[in-house]
């Protein structure tokens, strides 16, 4: 008798009518065979065998270079369950509308069936997904990003407990592009795009949008968070998870080479984008990284900013939409040095700075995360790692100080819920516009965000040892428009202060928005930064914050009666603390 998986694959084949069906086993031999085909058809271009062994360049359709949030839908039974921050379509209507785009879409092509595990192979917290696709780029990306193939099929057996994801490139027309999530069925449909977050369905679609609905139903958390361990001079490792919006520094923080390594502070990476967390037997939230790879922003990555990544991506890596040199090496803005002569830009044309950048601003590398030198020895730990701190953050040219600590869990949830960040190239649309992006989940929460806030508040009550909550801003600018803080490896100085706060030490001033480090609380040895700049970085300007409170009020109002009363209470309390400061000043 056919298994639920076989039945679903059969249905998908009837709809898309491929020439043949291939079940991916995830083996090295399979990769080799596919790569040969993919190179022949120019989906991939092999890089220099000496300097980048087993690495390939891919150029996507220029209209398909980032996530497209306007065509991403949550197809819950009721509109209210998707909430005011998601696009919604009724499930039946969505299927009627999008089925025709899948009909016959794989004619003359191969359908690949990829079973995959999100999470360590042996972890009880891991989950199985199966993606169908007609894109070899997607197959090779999923091979890196997940535990794909036989290993997943073995785990699944004949069970129906998997998240199906149907994907086809379609005709790559943005007018016929849809990314649909059916939270009731735990099903994903994606058509018309080959881009990462739209097409690698294990990533944002499953591990965040669908998983967040599962987590809500089952009492755990699926978050857009990196996971790292900070080792102190005694060798003790404290684990933290941080939620920053897309292209706001998760990968870089997770893999940083600590500027305080000589003092014994070192960072170990567990994950750089997504965290699944359950309450462990020790009363801490335990986090696993569902992914096996890293899909990172290329521009700005260099031996200076992120040497760990630079080591990692010299083998078995894919590069998407970066520059290509005559030596068959990759190049992007910020990699260091002058643009090499004779380079092709990301569209495959001779590089001309007057025309376009060498690499697309959202160009990416894809590599097995275990290739970075700082991968944590607990990366595969089935029980995950206990989390002592949550860090929220975003790009704020002003307003938010370098770091502050929330007063308690409920206040921390408020801090996360009112997070603001200037938009980036990771999604299509304007760049640099301030938008509210709660917990960095605005584009990734699979249900009504008001209920999501309620879930966060409830989790705080259920977790015996909830993480402390912090907020950071590496992107504050001075009047000259330049970043005030050097960032990258220097961010460990801020993490060290957090560690001290977790341990009940670390000096702080109480401000209306939370605890801010005193001017002398951060270890600044070896860093050439003026006292004035530090004061500017840590400054809490009441006028800016009054404006911010006003803006977050408008955001909260979108949720109507559904917004938890606790968040309105926090909002009023912040407003009155700011008021008090203003009165005291007069």
Chain contacts with Mn ion (rule: CB under 5 A): 250-251, 296
Query: Whose Cβ is closer to ligand SPV: residue 305's or residue 325's?
Result: 305
Helix (H) or strand (E) holding 510: strand 508-511
CB of 566 to ligand SPV, least distance (A): 28
Per-residue x/- mask for ligand SPV, residues 52 to 81, rule CB under 6 A?
Answer: ---------------x--------------
Burial of 543 (0-12, 13-18, 19+ CB in 10 A): exposed
CB of 59 to ligand GTP, least distance (A): 19
Residue 203, binding choice from ligand SPV, Mn ion, ligand GTP, none, Cβ under 5 to 8 Å by partner class:
ligand SPV
CB of 310 to ligand SPV, least distance (A): 19
Nearest-CB residue to ligand GTP? 487
Per-residue x/- mask for ligand SPV, residues 392 to 431, rule CB under 6 A?
Answer: ----------------------------------x-----
Contact with ligand GTP (CB under 6 A) among 249, 323, 401, 542: 249
- 232 phi and psi angles, rounded to 5 deg: -100, 175
For position 247 contacting ligand GTP by CB under 6 A, the verdict is yes
Work out whether the CA dihedral 22, 25, 29, 30 comes out positive or negative: positive
CB of 63 to Mn ion, least distance (A): 23
Chain center to CA of 324: 26
Contact with ligand GTP (CB under 6 A) among 33, 70, 483, 503: 483
Question: For residue 330, what are the contacts with CB-CB under 8 A and spacing of at least 6?
Answer: 47, 52, 55, 57, 298, 319, 322, 323, 324
CB of 200 to ligand SPV, least distance (A): 6
CB of 64 to ligand SPV, least distance (A): 11
For position 208 contacting ligand GTP by CB under 6 A, the verdict is no
Contact 439, 416 (CB under 8 A): yes
For position 487 contacting ligand GTP by CB under 6 A, the verdict is yes
Contact with ligand GTP (CB under 6 A) among 202, 299, 307, 506: 299
In 200-278, where does DSSP find H-type helix?
Answer: 211-218, 250-254
For position 251 contacting ligand GTP by CB under 6 A, the verdict is yes
Residue 471, binding choice from Mn ion, ligand GTP, ligand SPV, none, Cβ under 5 to 8 Å by partner class:
none
Query: Other C-beta atoms within 10 Å of 158: how many?
Result: 10
Three-state helix/strand/coil letters over 456-484: HHHHHHHCCECCEEEEECCCCECCCCCEC
Contact 370, 379 (CB under 8 A): yes
Contacts with ligand GTP by CB under 6 A: the residue count is 22
Contact window for ligand SPV (CB under 6 A) among 196-204, 286-294, 330-338, 523-531:
196-204
Residue 488, binding choice from Mn ion, ligand GTP, ligand SPV, none, Cβ under 5 to 8 Å by partner class:
ligand GTP
For position 293 contacting ligand SPV by CB under 6 A, the verdict is no
For position 295 contacting ligand SPV by CB under 6 A, the verdict is yes
Query: Other C-beta atoms within 10 Å of 448: how many?
Result: 24
Beta bridge partners of 191: 168, 178
For position 468 contacting ligand SPV by CB under 6 A, the verdict is no
For position 177 contacting ligand SPV by CB under 6 A, the verdict is no
For position 429 contacting ligand GTP by CB under 6 A, the verdict is no
CB of 196 to ligand SPV, least distance (A): 4
Contact with ligand SPV (CB under 6 A) among 83, 120, 129, 197: 197
CB of 132 to ligand SPV, least distance (A): 19
Nearest-angstrom CA–CA distance, 346 and 331:
10
Contact 190, 205 (CB under 8 A): yes
What token pair was written down for 128? Answer: 């199985």
Contacts with ligand SPV by CB under 6 A: the residue count is 9
Beta bridge partners of 67: 427
Contact 464, 458 (CB under 8 A): no
Query: Whose Cβ is closer to ligand SPV: residue 246's or residue 388's?
Result: 246
Query: What's the N-to-C CA distance of the chain in angstroms?
Result: 79
**Exposure letters 337-356 (e unless 16+ CB within 10 A, then b):** eebeeebbbbeeeebeeeee
**How many Cα atoms are found within 13 Å in the side-chain-facing hemisphere of 161?**
11
Residue 196, binding choice from ligand GTP, Mn ion, ligand SPV, none, Cβ under 5 to 8 Å by partner class:
ligand SPV
What token pair was written down for 251? Answer: 């990968």
For position 167 contacting ligand SPV by CB under 6 A, the verdict is no
Contact window for ligand GTP (CB under 6 A) among 13-21, 55-63, 486-494, 535-543:
486-494
Contact with ligand SPV (CB under 6 A) among 273, 345, 437, 451: 273
For position 246 contacting ligand SPV by CB under 6 A, the verdict is yes
Please count the residues of the chain. 586
Per-residue x/- mask for ligand GTP, residues 377 to 416, rule CB under 6 A?
Answer: ----------------------------------------
Nearest-angstrom CA–CA distance, 148 and 129:
9
Nearest-angstrom CA–CA distance, 16 and 135:
13
Residue 577, binding choice from Mn ion, ligand GTP, ligand SPV, none, Cβ under 5 to 8 Å by partner class:
none
- 250 phi and psi angles, rounded to 5 deg: -65, -55
Question: For residue 565, what are the contacts with CB-CB under 8 A and spacing of at least 6?
Answer: none
What token pair was written down for 551? Answer: 């803006």
CB of 72 to ligand GTP, least distance (A): 15
For position 308 contacting ligand GTP by CB under 6 A, the verdict is no
Q: Which of 379, 367, 265 is nearest to 316 (CA)?
A: 367
Q: Which of 551, 514, 545 is nearest to 436 (CA)?
A: 551
Beta bridge partners of 284: 465
Catalytic residues: 248
Question: Using CB under 6 A as the criterion, which residues of the chain lie in contact with ligand GTP when the complex forms?
Answer: 244, 246-252, 272-273, 296-297, 299-300, 305, 426, 474-475, 483, 487-488, 491
Question: Using CB under 6 A as the criterion, which residues of the chain lie in contact with ligand SPV when the complex forms?
Answer: 67, 196-197, 203-204, 246, 273, 295, 426
């Amino acid at each position: 008798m056919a298994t639920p998986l076989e039945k679903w694959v059969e249905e998908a084949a009837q709809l898309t009518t491929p020439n043949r069906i291939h079940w991916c086993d995830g083996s090295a031999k399979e990769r080799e065979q596919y790569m040969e085909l993919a190179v022949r058809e120019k989906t991939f271009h092999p890089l220099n065998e000496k300097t980048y062994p087993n690495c390939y360049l891919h150029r996507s359709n220029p209209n398909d270079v980032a996530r497209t949030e306007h065509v991403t839908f949550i197809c819950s039974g009721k509109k209210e369950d998707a909430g005011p921050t998601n696009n919604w379509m009724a499930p039946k209507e969505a299927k009627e509308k999008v089925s025709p785009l899948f009909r016959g879409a794989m004619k003359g092509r191969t359908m690949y069936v990829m079973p995959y595990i999100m999470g360590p192979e042996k972890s009880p917290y891991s989950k199985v997904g199966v993606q169908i696709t007609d894109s070899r780029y997607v197959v090779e990306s999923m091979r890196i990003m997940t535990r794909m193939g036989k290993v997943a099929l073995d785990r699944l057996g004949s069970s129906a407990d998997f998240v199906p994801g149907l994907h086809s490139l379609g005709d790559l027309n943005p007018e016929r592009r849809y990314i649909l999530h059916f939270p009731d069925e735990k099903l994903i449909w994606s058509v018309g795009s080959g881009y990462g977050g739209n097409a690698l369905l294990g990533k944002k679609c499953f591990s965040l949008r669908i998983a967040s609905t599962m987590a809500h139903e089952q009492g755990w958390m699926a978050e857009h968070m990196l996971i790292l361990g900070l080792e102190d001079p005694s060798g003790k490792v404290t684990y933290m998870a941080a939620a920053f919006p897309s292209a706001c520094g998760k990968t870089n923080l997770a893999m940083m080479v600590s500027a305080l390594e000589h003092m014994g502070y070192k960072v170990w990476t567990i994950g750089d984008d997504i965290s699944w967390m359950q309450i462990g037997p020790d009363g801490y939230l335990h986090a696993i990284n569902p992914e096996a790879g890293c899909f990172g922003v290329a521009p700005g990555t260099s031996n200076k900013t992120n040497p760990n990544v630079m080591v990692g991506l010299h083998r078995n890596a894919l590069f998407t939409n970066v520059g290509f040199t005559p030596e068959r090496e990759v190049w992007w803005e910020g990699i260091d040095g002058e643009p090499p002569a004779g380079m092709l830009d990301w569209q495959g044309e001779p590089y001309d700075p007057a025309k376009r950048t060498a690499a697309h601003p959202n160009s990416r590398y894809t590599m097995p995360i275990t290739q970075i030198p700082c991968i944590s020895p607990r990366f595969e730990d089935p029980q995950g790692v206990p989390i002592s701190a949550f860090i929220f953050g975003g790009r704020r040219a002003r307003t938010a100080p370098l770091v502050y600590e929330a007063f308690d869990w409920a206040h921390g949830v408020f801090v996360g819920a009112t997070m603001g960040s200037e938009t980036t190239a990771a999604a299509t649309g304007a760049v640099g516009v301030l938008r509210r992006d709660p917990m960095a989940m605005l584009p990734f929460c699979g249900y009504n965000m008001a209920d999501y806030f309620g879930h966060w508040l409830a989790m705080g009550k259920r977790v015996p040892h909830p993480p402390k909550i912090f907020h950071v801003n590496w992107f504050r600018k001075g009047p000259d428009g330049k970043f005030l803080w050097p960032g990258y490896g220097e961010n460990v100085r801020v993490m060290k202060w957090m560690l001290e706060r977790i341990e009940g030490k670390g000096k702080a001033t109480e401000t209306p928005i939370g605890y801010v480090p005193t001017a002398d609380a951060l270890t600044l040895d070896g860093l050439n930064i003026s006292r004035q700049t530090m004061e500017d970085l840590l400054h809490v300007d009441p006028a800016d914050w009054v404006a911010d409170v006003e803006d977050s009020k408008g955001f909260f109002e979108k949720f109507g009666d559904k917004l938890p009363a606790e968040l309105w209470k926090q909002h009023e309390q912040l407003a009155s603390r700011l008021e008090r400061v203003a009165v005291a000043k007069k």
